[in-house]
Amino acid sequence: MCTVLTQLLLTALHRVPSDALWYWRIGMDYPIVAAYFLFSVFALGACLGSFLNVCIWRLPLGESVIDAPSHCTTCGYDIRWYDNLPIISYIVLRGRCRNCRTHYSCRYLVVEALTGMLFVAYYIKTGLMELPLAMTASGFVMILLAITTAWIDVKHRIIPDATTFPAMLLALIAAAAFPEVWGTSNHLLALGGCLISGVFWGVVLYLLAYLGRMIFRCDALGLGDVKFMIACAMLLGAPGAFFVLFSGSLLGTVFGIAAALIRRKPLKHTTIAFGPFLAAAAVVWLFAGEVLLQIYLSGKLAY
């Protein structure tokens, strides 16, 4: 069974086509074009990071992210477009509201810059590894979900459905539109693979969450974590989801034990948010997944 699975994974890895690289090659040939592409990708990430800031603030409060225009949460001043430019406006206004001079959280700057930098890094990675351009689309969705989840879960201890459900929908659209992401040229097959991956991990993790509640009498695995994992499985595939669950849980558990020791509290009274650890593991898989999978498979074959 393990050998069959290993061969299937190897086949999937080698079936990724390498003919969609014009976008990278013209950039490599002409440095100005490369700079233009990288700046455009950074700008796209920063703009989407600006939208993530709205999601991070409003979703836990149950507010709409599209209805009301951006406004200062202290004085209600409607933020003008020129004060809403990602990164630039924060630096120009030195992180203050133009009207009441209240300090804004540095989160606005960090999320915009981080999203932009991760977008550029992932774009470069897909180019260097000769992966299909379509992979950047699902990778960007994973980056957006990871940043939002980490921030909201740390602050509010929830992972809203309004972040995981759209990510699942975008994963389905990406699979149907760009089947090469799933190592096939058949649109239906890719869509089926994406659906099966999500359903499989959903069933397994819902069962684990249910058993955890029955045995430990507490939510060892929250339903928000389960839905985040389903989105991971649909965006990264089953091996990626396994890595995210395993390493994210391991990191979270080590952090929980360290926190209990530092606070000198019993472990059972120490609660931690797993979302940031799962999100961090998802980003690690995005950037090093192929290498980690090859190391695992070569170890299996050698064995």
Which positions lie near Zn ion, rule CB under 5 A?
72, 74-75, 77, 97, 99-100, 102
Cβ proximity to Zn ion: between 58 and 227 the closer is 58
Nearest approach, Cβ of residue 152 and Zn ion (Å): 23
Cβ proximity to Zn ion: between 103 and 265 the closer is 103
N-term to C-term CA, the chain: 15
* d(C-alpha 244, C-alpha 201), whole Å: 12
Nearest approach, Cβ of residue 95 and Zn ion (Å): 12
Cβ proximity to Zn ion: between 6 and 99 the closer is 99
Nearest approach, Cβ of residue 66 and Zn ion (Å): 22
Task: Return the HEC string of the chain.
Answer: CHHHHHHHHHHHHHCCCCCCCHHHHHHHHCHHHHHHHHHHHHHHHHHHHHHHHHHHHHHHHCCCCCCCCCECCCCCCECCHHHCCCCHHHHHCCCECCCCCCECCCHHHHHHHHHHHHHHHHHHHHHHCCCCCHHHHHHHHHHHHHHHHHHHHHHHCCCCHHHHHHHHHHHHHHHHHCHHHHCCCCHHHHHHHHHHHHHHHHHHHHHHHHHHHHHHCCCCCCHHHHHHHHHHHHHHCHHHHHHHHHHHHHHHHHHHHHHHHHHCCCHHHCCCCCHHHHHHHHHHHHHHHHHHHHHHHHHHHHC
Cβ proximity to Zn ion: between 77 and 296 the closer is 77
Cβ proximity to Zn ion: between 99 and 249 the closer is 99
Cβ proximity to Zn ion: between 23 and 77 the closer is 77
Nearest approach, Cβ of residue 174 and Zn ion (Å): 39
Nearest approach, Cβ of residue 100 and Zn ion (Å): 3
Nearest approach, Cβ of residue 97 and Zn ion (Å): 3
Nearest approach, Cβ of residue 70 and Zn ion (Å): 11
Nearest approach, Cβ of residue 25 and Zn ion (Å): 48
Q: Is 68 left (phi over 0), alpha (psi -120 to 50) or beta?
A: beta
Cβ proximity to Zn ion: between 78 and 219 the closer is 78
Under a CB-based contact definition with an 8 Å cutoff, are residues 187 and 179 in contact?
yes
Under a CB-based contact definition with an 8 Å cutoff, are residues 20 and 178 in contact?
no
The burial class, CB within 10 Å (0-12 / 13-18 / 19+), for 291 is: exposed
Cβ proximity to Zn ion: between 96 and 263 the closer is 96
